[in-house]
A and B are shown apart, each in its own frame.
Chain A
Amino acid sequence: MALMADYLVQGCQMALMLLLAPLLTGWIRWVKARLLRRRGPSILQPYRDLLKLLRKEVVLADSASWLFRVAPYLIFSALWVGASLVPTFASGLPFSWAADLIAIVALLGTARFFLALAGLDVGTSFGGIGSSREMMIASLAEPAMLMMVFTLSLLAGTTELSSVARFMSTADVGLRVSLALSLLALIMVAIAENARIPVDNPATHLELTMVHEAMVLEYSGRHLALIELSSSLKLLLYFSLIGCIFAPWGMATAGSTPGAYLYGTAIYMAKLALGGFLLALFETSIAKMRVFRVDEFLGAALMLGLLGALLLFVSRGL
């Protein structure tokens, strides 16, 4: 019976991820519009967009291959599984041991690999420019993220995200230089990986500096819906990750009462709302940078991450 309840909570987690992802995107768009003194669309607009896209037919380019049609499903499922493995309202869910933090980073890599291939598939110049730049960004962002993983696992003695979250909510952590460095690195990586300003602009289509939007330019209908949902899921994944590592308060543990789960969910949504507001604030107050400044930005993230890990290799107290 307890096992059944555990699996049920795991299922809830997966469903919650799917339901919350568009809401987070809508919330950020709304806050951004308000900060720009616009009225902005409703928070629920992303849901409506998704439903509209799902019902439309797909217009496939003549030169598109089977890979182009399979990729959205693959990308979506890889990101959904990845997002569901991050503890959100509760830690220690029954499948949390299936993949540790390194595997989650690699799952993000799987999704990116297929997205970049899909960008190249139709054989247009825009698709190529997007794929090429996305992989350039990723080849700096992924190691920076892994350096953050190193720091965490050296501190917590584990790469299991649930155990890391539990460790981070105890008093043994304290204030550490290495943690501050890796938080900074993780935020920089999150901005780059989610195609946010100043690295990329999620709201534009016709701009030579676009990266993510260029790759998915040829997608339409249900495929586009899946791609859009996947990028919302990815954003949610990064928010949950930062939340569960650096703000692990209020999280329920596996096997607690429904009340505790509900409380955990409420706290989690409050964290998301705050995080989304901060992201919108940051995005409206900064200009986009040139593509060939991105490598300096991410190189700094990599160095910060490495510095954090190095400090811990030298002394466990830092």
Chain B
Amino acid sequence: MSLPLLLILLMILLAVGGYGIAAARQPGGSRRVYGATLVICVILLLLALARLLAGQGVQTLILPFGLPWLGAYFQLDALSAFFLVVVNLGGAIASLFALGYGQHERSPERVLPFFPAFLAGMNLVLVAGDAFSFLFAWEFMSISSWALVMAHHQESANARAGYLYLVMAFFGTLTLLLAFGLLAGADGGYTFGAMRAHVVSPGLAALVLVLALLGAGSKAGVVPLHVWLPLAHPAAPSHVSALMSGVMTKVAVYGFIRIVFDLLGEPVAWWWGGVVLALGGVTALLGVLYALMQHDLKRLLAYHTVENIGIIFIGLGLALAFQANLMYASAALALTAALFHVLNHSLFKSLLFLGSGAVLTATGERDMEHLGGLIRPMPWTALAFLIGAAAISALPPLNGFVSEWLTFQAILISPELPQWMLKFLVPAVGALLALSAALAATCFVKAFGITFLGRPRSPVAAQARETDLYSLTAMFILAGLCLLAGILPGLVVDGLSAAVGQLNGSALLPVQRSQPWLTLVPVTDVKSTYNGLLMLLFIGVSGFTAAWLIHRLASGRVRRGPAWDCGFPEPSPMTQYTAGSFAQPIRRVFGSILFQARERVVMPPPGDLRPARLEVEIHDPIWERGYVPVVNAVVAVSSRFNYLQYLTIRRYLGLVFGALVVLLLGMVLWR
């Protein structure tokens, strides 16, 4: 029953997009559009949640449009339902935020029509039941998000980001198209059911895996296909950035899971898991190191999405490796960790992007070097952002820690894997994961500390005002969910069980609801347990008792005075640590090799009145080594062939004739 209702709601969402064209010109039109998307997303969220908790089972629907001989297939199973929950939760919160934030939009006509369309596109990808409707919805999602990225296209950086995004999106769709073609085989059964039934030879299956990694990975931001992501995500309005980073990357993860775990069937070779695992580890570490080098708040968050995608792919890679060795109980743990992190990342990354949107509204500034001290004018935004920052840094008792803990537990049961390569790879990836978790904390001390703490570094930061109530509500709902998922992880794990079981031959983790004290027990209680609720309780009680006792028995007096700073306080806020100087030790330790970071002090000669300058030079190895040669080659080839545009008519005719002869010759030889 829920699938037709869901599709009808998606149609309404598209209609709201159509209304958005008219609404952009009316006063209060944006409120109506975002109000409508909020209501629809909440209904979709409830439907999906009900479907997820109902357990396994597939619901399908065939509609008579799409390709003439195929029709359009739609399906709803536990996996789709889980991702529908993620998408519509993000969509509802982003709409709520935009009820306030959208009022500040300079060009609403470029946002309002595409925002509902973007939401509808992401939902459609998740319920598509055949290759054609999947790819159609995927492209629809890409194009509508591209339009949102280009909302402020007057800035040349945004136009460049949009162009790069478009190129990478088409590349991704192309590889997915090829993957589906291989999955369907020569007979061309393009429905998911037919693809599941069709057995692919091991060589072709490996090719499908690689194509899916390229296609879904380029959308999700797997290194080295991530280059568009940190440019495009921040370019969009902030509530759209939250959706793109927090939610659309998850739709890409869904695409990967659907193709590799579901349509492709059981993994044939152990090295599949190894490849995904290694990519995940490299993505996690590089993502966070890139993020640490940024001083644009939104770009830092976008790079950090790359890190979290890496963590998700580490879980997926482990699950593939376990499944290839028929260790389904262990695979269930790895899959649960990955899906849990999908949910967590959608929560805290949306929260952080919304927080950066609130900062952007209040100050008009994204560059952290011009911010600072915002915790005083914007205490509530600061608190919500702090919770998000602590959650993403994997600090207990918040939710980010739980999924990383589960991933570590999955790594710790992997010595039972028989392959030698994996035995070496898994601890190395574990070290990469540990390193990126620690660096993430550094990254968010920097992001929160430089933006919200200290003294204001510019007049706009000093004159900031707290954001509106809608935006605050949206952020605090997400912050509350981060805390809830952190202290009651067992309930989340139980909720995920239907999706995990569907991908994993029905092998599951033990039921967590019935554990005493709601403790998280992934394998057995002699192996490892964690109880976030009790941690929160202990920390809360001991902290409050200490505060109460000290104020009661010792002293509660406070005197304000100027900062001490070892006796040499400097009144100018320019003497504070900046984003660049905070990251300098990390740049020196990790960046000197990876980014070829060089620091140079330019000292003018005596008598010259110019100030001395510290110049920092950072290279992006992936862009410079991987992409620039390709771009140069394309430019060189196309400028070579440029003269073809200026031929006389005789030469054109000769060219056509020559092409015909060559093709005919080819036909003859082929026969």
With contact pairs A99-B535, A160-B528 given, residues A120 and B455 touching in the complex (Cβ less than 8 Å):
no
Number of interface residues of A (CB under 8 A): 85
Using Cβ atoms and an 8 Å threshold, which residues of chain A touch B448? 117
Query: Contact string, B428-447, partner A, CB cutoff 8 A, digits 1/0?
Result: 10110011011101101110
Known: A120-B449, A222-B554. A103 touches B535 (CB 8 A): yes
**A residues less than 8 Å from B444 (CB atoms):** 113
Residues of B within 8 A of A126 (CB): 565-566
A291 to B379, alpha carbons, bound, how many Å?
35
Q: How far apart are the CA atoms of A239 and B203 in the complex, in Å?
A: 55
Are A222's CB and B555's CB within 8 A? yes
**CB <8 Å contact, B427 and A306:** yes
Q: Does A7 contact B (CB under 8 A)?
A: no
Compute how far the CA of A153 lies from the CA of B376 in the bound complex, rounded to whole angstroms: 45
Contact yes or no, B415 A159, CB < 8 A: no
Instruction: Collect the chain A residues with CB atoms within 8 Å of residue B582's CB.
Output: 120, 128, 131-132, 135
Do residues A136 and B586 form an inter-chain contact, with CB atoms below 8 A?
yes
Contact of A120 among B376, B530, B559, B577 (CB under 8 A): B577
**A78, B653: Cα distance in complex, Å:** 80
Stretch at the interface among A21-29, A30-38, A52-60, A194-202: A52-60
- A73 CA / B530 CA spacing, docked (Å): 23
Q: Is A206 an interface residue (CB 8 A)?
A: yes
Q: Find the A residue at minimum CB distance from B583.
A: A132
B68 CB contacts on chain A under 8 angstroms = none
Question: Provided the pairs A109-B441, A128-B577, A139-B442 are in contact, do residues A121 and B454 lie with their beta carbons within 8 angstroms?
Answer: yes
- Give B436's nearest chain A residue, CB to CB: A143
- Evaluate whether A113 and B445 lie within 8 angstroms (CB atoms) in the complex, with A81-B538, A136-B589, A295-B589 already known: yes
Q: Is the CB of A76 within 8 A of B543?
A: yes
The prevalent SS among residues of B at the interface is helix
B side interface size, CB within 8 A: 88
Near B by CB (< 8 A), chain A positions 199-240 give 205-206, 217-218, 221-222, 226
Closest approach, in angstroms, between the C-beta of A167 and any C-beta of chain B?
A: 11
Contact B557 A150 (CB under 8 A): no
The answer to whether B412 touches A143, judged by C-beta atoms less than 8 angstroms apart, is no
- Find out whether the CB atom of B445 lies under 8 angstroms from the CB atom of A124: no
A267 contacts B by Cβ under 8 Å: no
B525: which A residues are within 8 A, CB to CB? 97
Confirm or deny: A138 has a beta carbon within 8 angstroms of a beta carbon on chain B.
yes
Question: How close is A302's CB to chain B, nearest CB, in angstroms?
Answer: 7
Q: Is B519 an interface residue (CB 8 A)?
A: yes
Q: Of the candidates A57, A122, A125, A153, which one forms a contact with B559 in the assembled complex, judged by CB atoms under 8 Å apart?
A: A57
Which residues on A sit within 8 Å (CB–CB) of B531?
Answer: 97-99
Chain B residues whose CB sits within 8 angstroms of the CB of A159 once the complex forms = 409, 412, 527-528
Are A63 and B390 in contact, CB atoms less than 8 angstroms apart? no
CB pair B453 A147 closer than 8 Å: no
**Which residue of chain B has its CB nearest to the CB of A118?**
B453
Contact B555 A109 (CB under 8 A): no
Please determine whether B529 and A100 come into contact, CB atoms closer than 8 angstroms.
Answer: yes
- The answer to whether B589 and A123 touch across the interface, beta carbons within 8 angstroms, is no
* A64 vs B455: C-alpha distance when bound (angstroms): 9
B415 in contact with A292 (CB, 8 Å)? no
Knowing A132-B584, A136-B589, say if A61 contacts B577 (CB, 8 Å): no
A298 to chain B, nearest CB (A): 9
Q: Which residue of A lies closest to B566 (CB)?
A: A126
B424-480, CB < 8 A from A: 424, 426-428, 430-431, 434-435, 437-439, 441-442, 444-446, 448-450, 453-455
Q: Complex Cα distance A146/B409, Å?
A: 12
A244 within 8 A of B: no
A47 to chain B: closest CB distance in Å?
14
Residues of B within 8 A of A78 (CB): 539
Using a CB-CB cutoff of 8 Å, which residues 198-239 of chain B contact chain A?
none
Check A62/B427 contact, CB under 8 A, given A57-B557, A98-B538: no
Q: Given A62-B561, A62-B563, answer yes or no on A77-B589 (Cβ-Cβ < 8 Å).
A: no
Contact B585 A133 (CB under 8 A): yes
For B584, what are the chain A residues with a Cβ–Cβ distance below 8 Å?
132
Q: Would A112 and B441 be within 8 Å (CB), given that A55-B554, A302-B431 are in contact?
A: yes
Asked if A5 CB lies within 8 Å of chain B CBs, one says no
Partner of B581, one of A59, A128, A147: A128
Q: A109-B441, A123-B563 in contact; A67/B395 too (CB < 8 A)? A: no
Asked if B562 CB lies within 8 Å of chain A CBs, one says yes
CB-CB nearest in chain A for B455: A123
Measured CB to CB, the closest approach of chain B to A230, in angstroms, equals 10
Q: Does A116 contact B (CB under 8 A)?
A: yes
Contact (Cβ within 8 A) A218 B581 = no
Is B665 an interface position by the 8 A CB rule? no
Asked if A122 and B557 sit within 8 Å, CB to CB, the answer is no
Which residue of B is nearest A299, CB measured? B589
Binary interface profile of A, 88-130, with partner B (CB < 8 Å = 1, else 0)? 0000000101111011001101101100110011111111110
Told that A103-B401, A138-B442 touch, could you supply 4 new A-B pairs with CB distance under 8 A? A102-B528, A106-B405, A153-B412, A154-B415
6 smallest beta-carbon distances between A and B, as pairs: A128-B577, A123-B454, A120-B449, A143-B434, A77-B543, A136-B585
A-B contact pairs, 23 of them (CB 8 A): A61-B564, A63-B454, A63-B563, A98-B529, A99-B531, A103-B535, A106-B394, A106-B401, A109-B441, A112-B441, A123-B372, A123-B573, A123-B576, A124-B576, A125-B565, A132-B581, A133-B585, A136-B442, A143-B438, A158-B527, A206-B566, A218-B565, A295-B589
Chain A residues packing against B (C-beta within 8 Å): 54-67, 73-74, 76-78, 80-81, 95, 97-100, 102-103, 106-107, 109-110, 112-113, 116-117, 120-129, 131-133, 135-136, 138-143, 146-147, 150, 153-154, 157-160, 163, 205-206, 217-218, 221-222, 226, 291-292, 295, 302, 306, 309-310, 312-314, 316
